[in-house]
Amino acid sequence: MARMRLDKLLAHTGWGSRKEVKKMVKEGRVAVNGVPAADGGLSVDPENDTVTVDGQAVSYRRYVYLMMNKPKGVITATHDPSLPTVIDLLDPADADRSIFPVGRLDRNTEGLLLLTNDGTLAHRLLSPKRHVAKTYAARVRGQVTEEDVARFAEGMVLEDGSRTLPAILKILQSGGFSDVEVTLYEGKFHQIKRMFGVSGKQVVALKRLSMGPLELDPALPPGTYRPLTEDEVRRLREAAGVE
């Protein structure tokens, strides 16, 4: 594990902003291996040095896993010169940890988004070879029928000639506007919109509900996020085949 500045370690582990952390160090509240720290710029080894604040041990996790309920109007990117990104919604201490979104949701698609600095897990979850399931709730202009269900289940040829893998379409309510759930095992560009487009229907709202075993927390308002629980991380890593 690479060494890092003491103030950066404390900010990353939720003890406050860099400014607040430096104040705590100056007040003598921070110790490294039992010795009061004299400078927030002190180089520490997060895995082998014992860091305490007011006698309480600081627990450092190399990897961060965050569940966000992505709101509409925000793009899934780490930076954009003109549009708000999901990274802009993070607290500075979280945004400073090389966090990136796993996969993409369209600007006006909302719902579950995983953010992490674990590149191996992200790669496995997005790998076409693993076919990690992703389930979405959609509102569709037009009456969705059992014929659509069958076409989704068989896989279909899109407008560009590419063929999709079989997908699960569940009709919740059908009419002039239909409410459905769709489970995909791949991630083609605008795939759900394009699949409905083949039969002349238009997706007017889309929300991701789950990714593998990870389900969107119903208590998480749009635009907010929380760390994954240890059990959620364990099940996600198992689904991705990560040791």
- Angle (CA) 228-225-79 rounded to 5° is 110
Task: Mark whether 106 is an active-site residue.
Answer: yes
Whole-angstrom Cα distance, residue 76 to residue 177? 27
Q: Say which of 45, 88, 106, 217 is annotated catalytic.
A: 106
Supply φ then ψ for residue 138, to 5 degrees: -135, 145
137: left (phi over 0), alpha (psi -120 to 50) or beta: beta
E strands of the chain, at which residues?
4-5, 30-32, 35-36, 43-44, 51-53, 56-57, 65-70, 100-101, 110-116, 134-141, 168-173, 177-184, 202-211, 214-215, 225-227
3-state secondary structure of 80: coil
Contact 88, 223 (CB under 8 A): no
Give the residue numbers marked as catalytic. Answer: 106
